[in-house]
Amino acid sequence: MTVTETRTLVTPGTSRRRRGGSRHYDPSRRRSMLLTVLLWLCALYFILPLWWLFVSSTKDNSALFSTFGLWFAPELSLWDNLQTLFTIRGGIFIRWMLNTVVYSTVSAFGATLLAAMAGYAFAKYEFPGKKVLFSATLGAVMIPLTALALPTYLLFSQAGLTDTPWAVIIPSLVSPFGVYLMRVYAADAIPDTLIEAARVDGAGEFRIFWQVGLRLLGPGLVTVFLFSLVATWNNYFLPLIMLNTSDLYPITVGLAQLQAAASAGGGTQALFSTVITGSFVSIIPLIIAFLFLQRYWQSGLATGSVKG
Amino acid sequence: MSNTPALTVERPSPPVKAKRHTSPTKRKQNRAAYLFLLPFFIVFITMLVIPLVYAGYLSLFESKLIGGSVFAGLANYARALTDPQFLGGLGRVALFFIIQVPIMLGLALFFALALDTMRARGSKGIRLLIFMPYAVPAVVATLMWGYLYGADFGPIAQIARAAGLGTPDFLSAGNILYSMMNIVTWEFIGYNMIIMYAALRSIPGELYEAAEIDGAGQFRLAWSVKIPAIRPAIMLTVIFSIIGSFQLFAEPSLLDALAPAAITNGFTPNYYAYNLAFINQELNYAAAVAFLLGLVIAVISYFVQLGSERSARRERKGL
């Protein structure tokens, strides 16, 4: 029953300090050479493919096939590749990137807000039907979203919404896992006494949520936002079936299309290096987002996952 | 599906006094709670419940060349359950799940525990490097590994040839499922590791102190204290992995171009449903396949959770 005991001791945002209580347990005292070497060797598995992607984006098409994959060709063609990438088909790559940014930020913003409101309500109110509604939310975590995509597509096409950005954004607003995380997070991060005090001061329930609740939910919000952002950013199935116009494609569908063109046409072989450079460029924004926000999402996750 | 034991943590709520009439403040609060939930549940119902019901409805019809849509009862389901394409795909993802998920989660757990001991130099850097593939879309990961697997210019084949090992064929019919497992493992170890690691960081130091006094080593500590403490987090990763592996789509659909002989239309059930709906225009049958797939995932997730709850209870009794 360690988990339930843990719960009372945990407060959000302090995960890194939490262990300070024990004087005998000082893990940094003993380093293990063996473990260090082993882990760094394992890290190679994760990083080498990305290294290959980077190296390959600096090669032209013939060097791609003639040189060793994990090292640079004598001649660097990164600049040429980038130029081709950004000018091909009238600069459609930029368009795809922008689409991805718009779809995923709008979806993530909406999903986070919906999840925060619902999670807050589940954590801080007692109301009839709470259990049923929360169980339904949790149960929905198990519903495969891609299996839902097909009927959703049919409904959207009857409503005339297919081949519009809404077809990608609206289904991405549902984040049952986000609601679950926000509930767990809000339960700890927002003291009941604070809400009571605000009520005594005459603040309405919505004002309390906006001015007290949301401010204390910081790391939880960042976590849910980032995970929803990645989910939409990386989604392939949904935009693939919903969109027909290539001007509306997100980067995933666009790259897949470029790749299909590259492997289909004998004369368009030069596209391989464009696909690779495009792949490399497309993963940079998310990696930067993760690096910059890691402090927040990791502490947000720390509260969410231990009580799962 | 209302019963989800491992995920549900009910905070012992203060005993609610049975009141006949709810006070005005209470009523105001109830109203606020429902209003907070409303936006989420509007989207929830339109995007989850209605499509689910609609898929169920569609799956009961059959589109005839003459006469249009005709009620077919469970005929589509009967067809799916004897359809070698669907069953083959289901078998393939089941095999995928049985082999790939234990490897991926086992490694993720190992990394999380190893990093949690803080005994390796540069733990933070390692953690980020392992996590980084999660930021790579499945499409990019599949394209990239597709090139890496390549027999002519792929670096793996280049190295193997240089070492005199011949050229491995990762994209042959016999190997492609395993090649796919590698792609998914590469992508998601970090994600699962982070969930487990975050849970480990939340274990209070007092627990370790007690174990150290008892003279427990690192392995014993991991096995008897840490892993039981993060069981809910591990369970979460198992559920997500079940869902993920049963709906594989981007990997088979993109590798299809590289290995057309190895990947059939029904390589995974999700890919099959897509091909049925958008290539064959068999919407009703596709709906039945999608519905069945959802059912299979829900049932497996449910029983896995139930099993884990049982063993957790047994363990607690044994202690």
* Residue B131 touches partner A, C-beta closer than 8 Å: yes
A116-155: per-residue pLDDT in tens? 999 999 999 999 999 999 999 988 877 776 668 888 998 9
Query: How many residues are recorded in chain A?
Result: 308
> Which pLDDT belongs to residue B24?
83
Name residues 97-116 of chain B within 8 A of A (Cβ).
Answer: 111, 114-115
> Which pLDDT belongs to residue A270?
67
Return the structure tokens found at A154.
Answer: 């049919």
Sign of the C-alpha dihedral computed for residues B195, B201, B202 and B207 taken in this order: positive
> Which pLDDT belongs to residue B99?
96
3-state secondary structure of A20: helix
Residues from chain A that touch B134, judged by Cβ atoms under 8 A, are 230, 290
Q: Which of B55, B111, B236 sits opposite A151 (nearest CB)?
A: B55
Whether the Cβ atoms of residue A236 and residue B138 lie closer than 8 Å to each other: yes
> Which pLDDT belongs to residue B304?
87
Q: What is the interface pTM, i.e. ipTM, of the complex?
A: 0.85
* Residue A236 touches partner B, C-beta closer than 8 Å: yes
Is the pLDDT confidence value at B276 over 80?
A: yes
* Residue B136 touches partner A, C-beta closer than 8 Å: yes
Backbone angles phi, psi at B69, to 5 degrees: -80, 125
* Residue A222 touches partner B, C-beta closer than 8 Å: no
Name residues 71-110 of chain A within 8 A of B (Cβ).
Answer: none
A212-238: per-residue pLDDT in tens? 899 899 888 998 999 899 999 999 999
Confidence of residue B134 (pLDDT cuts 50, 70, 90): very high
CB contact (8 A) between residue A147 and residue B144: no
Q: Residues B5-10: what's their mean pLDDT?
A: 44
Q: Is there a domain that residue A37 lies in?
A: no
Backbone angles phi, psi at B61, to 5 degrees: -115, 165
Q: Which tops the pLDDT comparison, A1 or A152?
A: A152
Tokens 């998914």, located at residue: B184
Q: Is there a domain that residue A30 lies in?
A: no
Q: Residues B147-168: what's their mean pLDDT?
A: 86
> Which pLDDT belongs to residue B5?
42
The residues pairing with B62 across neighbouring beta strands, listed in sequence order, are B70
Residues from chain B that touch A130, judged by Cβ atoms under 8 A, are 33
3-state secondary structure of A305: helix
Residue of B17, B49, B119, B246 to mutate, testing the A interface (most A Cβ within 10 Å of its Cβ):
B119
Whether the Cβ atoms of residue B7 and residue A305 lie closer than 8 Å to each other: no
CB pairs under 8 A between A and B: 365
Q: Residues B111-134: what's their mean pLDDT?
A: 90
B201-226: per-residue pLDDT in tens? 888 777 777 777 777 777 888 888 88
Sign of the C-alpha dihedral computed for residues B248, B253, B254 and B259 taken in this order: positive
CB contact (8 A) between residue B201 and residue A18: yes
What's the rounded Cα separation, in Å, for the pair B69 and B284? Answer: 9
> Which pLDDT belongs to residue A104?
96
> How many of the other CB atoms lie within 10 Å of CB of B88?
16
Whether the Cβ atoms of residue B217 and residue B116 lie closer than 8 Å to each other: no
CATH for A284: 1.10.3720.10
Q: How many domains does chain A have?
A: 1
Name residues 241-270 of chain B within 8 A of A (Cβ).
Answer: 243, 246-247, 249-250, 253-254, 257-258, 270
- The Cα of B142 is separated from the nearest Cα of chain A by a number of Å equal to 10
Q: Is there a domain that residue A75 lies in?
A: no
Q: Residues B57-63: what's their mean pLDDT?
A: 88
Whether the Cβ atoms of residue A98 and residue A169 lie closer than 8 Å to each other: no
What is the radius of gyration, based on Cα positions, of chain A? Answer: 24
What's the rounded Cα separation, in Å, for the pair B212 and B155? Answer: 47
> How many of the other CB atoms lie within 10 Å of CB of A265?
11
Query: To 5 degrees, how large is the angle CA B283–CA B288–CA B290?
Result: 90
Chain Cα centroid distance, residue B315: 26
> Which pLDDT belongs to residue B25?
81
Q: Among the listed ranges A45-49, B31-35, B153-157, which one has the minimum average pLDDT value?
A: B153-157
What's the rounded Cα separation, in Å, for the pair A95 and A247? Answer: 7
What's the rounded Cα separation, in Å, for the pair B240 and A100? Answer: 24
Is the pLDDT confidence value at B40 over 90?
A: yes
CB contact (8 A) between residue B30 and residue A127: yes
Q: Is there a domain that residue A108 lies in?
A: yes
Is the pLDDT confidence value at B317 over 80?
A: no
Residues from chain B that touch A59, judged by Cβ atoms under 8 A, are none
Return the structure tokens found at A258.
Answer: 């470029």
Is the pLDDT confidence value at B144 over 80?
A: yes
Q: Is there a domain that residue A10 lies in?
A: no
Residues from chain A that touch B254, judged by Cβ atoms under 8 A, are 256, 259
The residue in chain B having the minimum alpha-carbon distance to the alpha carbon of residue A30 is B119
Is the pLDDT confidence value at B11 over 90?
A: no
Chain Cα centroid distance, residue A51: 22
CB contact (8 A) between residue A35 and residue B120: yes
Q: Is there a domain that residue A3 lies in?
A: no
HSE-CB of B124 using CA atoms within 13 angstroms? 6
Amino acid of residue B74 = L
Return the structure tokens found at A50.
Answer: 């990305």
Is the pLDDT confidence value at B239 over 50?
A: yes
Backbone angles phi, psi at B63, to 5 degrees: -95, 120
Q: Residues A248-253: what's their mean pLDDT?
A: 96
Q: Containing domain of residue A275, as a range?
A: 80-307
Whether the Cβ atoms of residue B204 and residue A18 lie closer than 8 Å to each other: yes
Residues from chain B that touch A31, judged by Cβ atoms under 8 A, are 119-121
3-state secondary structure of A217: coil
* Residue A292 touches partner B, C-beta closer than 8 Å: no
Q: Is there a domain that residue A221 lies in?
A: yes
What letter does residue B15 receive in the DSSP assignment?
P
In 3D space, the residue among A265, A267, A252, A272 whose CA is nearest the CA of residue A59 turns out to be: A272
CB contact (8 A) between residue A135 and residue B36: no
Q: CB under 8 Å to A242, separation ≥6 — which residues?
A: A153, A156, A162, A163, A167, A168
Q: CB under 8 Å to B136, separation ≥6 — which residues?
A: A50, A234, A283, A286, B144, B187
CB contact (8 A) between residue A255 and residue B143: yes
Q: Is there a domain that residue A298 lies in?
A: yes
Sign of the C-alpha dihedral computed for residues A66, A52, B189 and A30 taken in this order: positive
